[in-house]
Amino acid sequence: MQAQVKKDVNNRLKSIEGHIRGIQRMVENDEYCIDIMKQIKAVQGALDRANAMILDNHLQTCVTRAIRSDDKEEQEKVLHEIVELFNAAHKLR
């Protein structure tokens, strides 16, 4: 993973970790359910953004390298992985 991407993803994950602790406190304090759900949705969005950053890095590095190589097996492998990821994300299976 590229150094800057790694740093950015780690920072985002640390922020998410803090939000999760906040949600745990909200649950422990019996706060309003809708407020808790809004915070959970915000964390899910933050996780989606972190995931998108990692995917972008993967496409720009590992996938690009595999596609440019002469190794047909590696090319097929990375393309298959992307399709599997897409299917899992969209529950197409």
0.85 surpassed by pTM: no
What pLDDT sits at residue 64?
93
For 17-71, how does the pLDDT look when each residue is reduced to its tens digit (9 = 90+)? 999 999 999 999 999 999 999 999 999 999 999 999 999 999 999 999 999 999 9
More confident residue, 92 or 53: 53
Helix (H) or strand (E) run with residue 29 in it: none
What pLDDT sits at residue 10?
97
Cα gap 59→78, rounded to integer Å = 9
CA distances from 59 to 20, 27, 84 (A): 29, 38, 14
What pLDDT sits at residue 60?
94
Q: Which of 86, 50, 80 is nearest to 67 (CA)?
A: 80
| Range 3-90 classified under CATH 1.20.1250.20 | no
